[in-house]
């Protein structure tokens, strides 16, 4: 039987890790991306829908088993992605303005924290494979 928790953690972890690597390699890229999102209602709706779908898949693929910490973390991340998707669609003006202010001052910090999360998810997922 396929371990959906391991696969969702591995894929999400790798995505997050390499997004952070890209941000560290090209400082300011996340700020430029958020500026583009702030200006485009079409991008806001598309990003919200993609995150809603991704968050829904992560949430539904992971059972809530208190003995399985990774499954609980993944279910929680999926739920947070769903909430963020709804915030992006409903309150995009305030949400993207918040991120523009934070990324201007703490770009490297956000990228390093993101890289650590991606690395952790990737390692914990890899440990579940035989």
Range 36-54 average pLDDT:
94
Number of domains in the chain: 1
Range 38-49 average pLDDT:
93
Q: Are 52 and 76 in contact (CB under 8 A)?
A: no
Supply the pLDDT for residue 79.
97
Closest CA to 58 of 19, 16, 6: 6
Answer yes or no: is pLDDT of 93 > 90.
no
> Lowest mean pLDDT: which of 82-86, 106-110, 114-118?
106-110
- The average confidence (pLDDT) of the chain is 93
| Cβ neighbours of residue 27 closer than 8 Å, sequence gap 6 or more | 107, 108
Give the structural domain span for 32: 4-128
pLDDT in tens, 95-114: 888 888 777 777 788 899 99
Supply the pLDDT for residue 101.
79
Q: Are 56 and 78 in contact (CB under 8 A)?
A: yes
Comparing 77 with 32, the larger pLDDT belongs to 77
The Cα–Cα gap between 112 and 20 comes to 7
How many CB atoms sit inside 10 A of residue 5's CB? 23
Range 68-77 average pLDDT:
96
> Lowest mean pLDDT: which of 81-85, 103-107, 119-123?
103-107
Structure tokens at 11: 């894929």
The Cα–Cα gap between 32 and 17 comes to 19
Answer yes or no: is pLDDT of 121 > 90.
yes
């Amino acid at each position: 039987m396929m371990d959906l928790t391991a696969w969702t953690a591995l894929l999400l972890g790798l995505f997050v890790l390499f997004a952070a690597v890209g941000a560290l390699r090209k400082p300011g890229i996340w700020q430029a991306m958020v500026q583009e999102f702030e200006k485009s209602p079409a991008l806001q709706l598309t990003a919200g829908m993609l995150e809603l779908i991704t968050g829904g898949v992560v949430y539904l693929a992971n059972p809530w088993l208190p003995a399985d910490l990774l499954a609980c973390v993944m279910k929680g991340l999926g739920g947070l992605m769903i909430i963020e998707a709804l915030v992006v669609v409903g309150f995009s003006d305030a949400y993207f303005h918040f991120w523009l202010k934070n990324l201007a001052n703490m770009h490297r910090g956000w990228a390093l924290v993101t890289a650590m999360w991606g690395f952790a998810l990737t390692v914990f997922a890899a440990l579940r494979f035989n």
